[in-house]
Structure 1
Amino acid sequence: MAPPTRNGPDPTRDVETEYQPVNWKRLFLAPKYLVWWIIGIIVLVLTILITIHHDQVVAYLRPFSEKVRDLPAGWIIPIVILVVISFPPLFGHEIIALLCGVVYGLWIGFGIVAAGTFIGEIGTWFAFQYLFRKKAVKLERTNLNYGALARLTRDGGFWIVLVIRFSAIPSHFCTAVFSTCGVNFWYFAIATFLTLPKQIFLVYLGVLLVQEKPDNSAKNIVFGVAFAITIFMAVYIWWKMRSIKKLLLQEQEERKRSRLVDLPPKRDSAEVSLPGGGDVADRDEQWLLSGQAQREREFEMLSRQEEGTIEGVSVREADPWTSDRSSDKNSRLDLADTEYHGRPH
């Protein structure tokens, strides 16, 4: 019986797993993954370029953003965009947050980004829970990293979920894991809400971009603090996952050993049990031994027959079958002689 966790019993402790090393050659060269690798490379390149040249990107998009701001209920548009790009593999969350800081200022911009982020994460939760649950269960049984993160979130409870949300681990990936490995929904929702202040860093950077005399030192401090917090949390999660990986591999080996111990001993085809009791191997062995003894007995009798007696007994008398035949023949001869002499002549 699996030991209970803070969220209830862990349903995967007694489930068969098959953690194997990643076949990187197959992963990179398999035709079915080629399209995904191309998309991933494009997304990565665009993300790097946007991160490096975010000032130019924001300046280019600023006129359009100001037109959106002047529309009635125009603030809903960035919220909708944030909700849509919350579903992987879409990206661009950082650019929208910077634009909100540029166009709406710090607090209104933060409110818009927080609302779009929260609604988007909730939508991602339900999408993965209902559409990709079977895939996630299979992945947890075969992928060691995914399995370790899933076990960590189940055993760690709310605080681990909160730390992961604060870390540098991509939020979309975390949401996918949380929604498919049994994390309580309210733990996830509260942790997501409490980590929304992370978004204020991006909004504040947007505010700094439009200052007449931009304070690069302030921008660098904001970047440094946000980077340090997220990296520290990520290292802590990695350290916890490292110990859980060892535990998962140990549990897998223990299940394999117990399965081998519980199996009945392997039988050859000659050891199949028979209805009459015993098995073929035992009965064959008995037959071979009895046949060998009979042959030895016959050989001994033949060798002594040449000497005329076996331990002082006539060979004919020593053989019960021959002796019975001789006595039976003599009895018939005596009976015939008696009948002959008793008849009148």
Structure 2
Amino acid sequence: KKNKKDNAPKETNYQPVNWKKIFLSPKYIPWHILFIAIGVATVIITIKHDQVVAALRPWSMKVRDLPAGWLIPIAILIVISFPPLFGHEIVALLCGVVYGLWIGFAIVAAGTFIGEIGTWFAFKYALRRKGANLERTNLNYGALARLTRDGGFWIVLIIRFSAIPAHFSTAVFSTCDVNFWFFVIATLLSLPKQIFLVYLGVLLVQERKDSSTQTIMFVTVFVVTIVMAGWIWFKMNKIKKVLLEEQAAREAAKEKEQE
């Protein structure tokens, strides 16, 4: 049986990021505009989430009254699972507002899980060549790929619980041959963190606002995800040094052969 490590790239070309080229090249301007728009929208939604939820609540109540209306938020969550789309947080909050804690959580968990599976297959089969090229040329991508290959299930699970964006980690998992069932189990086990957003939606419609509960939840989830992301980043930095050393050794060997 072929070892997963055999799928790691034999040749790499990690180069320092040319930020001047990225920021000044005309072909990247549409991407800059898109990312700025997404960033601004994310900040507004984060700061004004109460108002956003209040504005969308009437529409959400109409959706709830439709036959099988609960399928609509599931479908929306599946669609926005594919980068660069966003809005997962608002949908989860609305599910808490409209459906309550447990039904809302079930809807969010179903949409999130199916969306992640869809993203996995999209990257594995439609974007595999792009992923392989990123692993050869992007040091961060290559380091995370090496970490997941060497670390197995527990690393995959920690990454799923961390603050590392799910879109990025799913792309890495699918293109560097992480066991599909490891990915499925880790994704299922990390779904309970979605209940945090749903519960915030529930709190938004309570007559008595418990700000201390919201604060404790925010702080707890924030600390756990950031600590896990920090640990992953620490491990990745160590692997980056190894990858650069391996690349330098290959280049030195080639030069020696040509002499």
Which interval holds the TM-score relative to the shorter structure? over 0.9
Q: What does residue 58 of structure 1 align with?
A: 53
Residue number among 67, 71, 76 corresponding to 1:81 in the alignment: 76
Q: State the shift of 1:130 in Å.
A: 1.2
For residues 255-312 of structure 1, the C-alpha deviation after alignment (integer angstroms, 9 at most, x for no partner) is: 112222233x4xxxxxxxxxxxxxxxxxxxxxxxxxxxxxxxxxxxxxxxxxxxxxxx
Residue number among 15, 19, 34 corresponding to 1:20 in the alignment: 15
- Larger RCO (alpha carbons 8 Å, 6+ apart): 2
Whether the 8 Å contact between 2:7 and 2:176 is mirrored in structure 1 is no
Q: What does residue 7 of structure 2 align with?
A: 11
TM-score by length of 2: 0.97
The separation in 1 between residues aligned to 2:6 and 2:245, in whole angstroms, is: 16
Q: What does residue 206 of structure 1 align with?
A: 201
- Structure 2 unaligned blocks of 5 or more: none
Matched AA of 1:262: E
For residues 63-94 of structure 1, the C-alpha deviation after alignment (integer angstroms, 9 at most, x for no partner) is: 11011111111110000000000001100000
Q: State the shift of 1:208 in Å.
A: 0.5
- Show the 5 A alignment for 1:119-158: 119-158=114-153
The separation in 2 between residues aligned to 1:9 and 1:140, in whole angstroms, is: 13
The separation in 1 between residues aligned to 2:6 and 2:163, in whole angstroms, is: 26
For residues 138-165 of structure 1, the C-alpha deviation after alignment (integer angstroms, 9 at most, x for no partner) is: 1111111111011111111110000000
Q: What does residue 28 of structure 2 align with?
A: 33
Whether the 8 Å contact between 1:65 and 1:99 is mirrored in structure 2 is yes
Whether the 8 Å contact between 2:5 and 2:149 is mirrored in structure 1 is no
> Does 2:110 align with 1:115?
yes
Q: What does residue 242 of structure 2 align with?
A: 247
- Show the 5 A alignment for 1:180-329: 180-263=175-258, 265=259
Matched AA of 1:8: K
Whether the 8 Å contact between 1:10 and 1:154 is mirrored in structure 2 is no
Flag the structure with higher helix content: 2
The separation in 2 between residues aligned to 1:91 and 1:179, in whole angstroms, is: 20
Q: What does residue 174 of structure 2 align with?
A: 179
Whether the 8 Å contact between 1:148 and 1:245 is mirrored in structure 2 is yes
Q: What does residue 169 of structure 1 align with?
A: 164
The separation in 1 between residues aligned to 2:127 and 2:23, in whole angstroms, is: 23
Matched AA of 1:241: M
The separation in 2 between residues aligned to 1:174 and 1:261, in whole angstroms, is: 38
The separation in 2 between residues aligned to 1:78 and 1:12, in whole angstroms, is: 38
Q: What does residue 289 of structure 1 align with?
A: none
Q: State the shift of 1:8 in Å.
A: 3.0
TM-score by length of 1: 0.73
The separation in 1 between residues aligned to 2:254 and 2:179, in whole angstroms, is: 33
Q: State the shift of 1:181 in Å.
A: 1.2
Q: What does residue 106 of structure 1 align with?
A: 101
Q: State the shift of 1:230 in Å.
A: 0.4
Percent identity over the alignment is 70
The alignment's C-alpha RMSD in Å is 1.3
The separation in 1 between residues aligned to 2:245 and 2:12, in whole angstroms, is: 11
How many residues get paired? 259
The separation in 2 between residues aligned to 1:145 and 1:218, in whole angstroms, is: 37
Could you say what secondary structure the match of 1:9 adopts?
helix
Could you say what secondary structure the match of 1:203 adopts?
helix
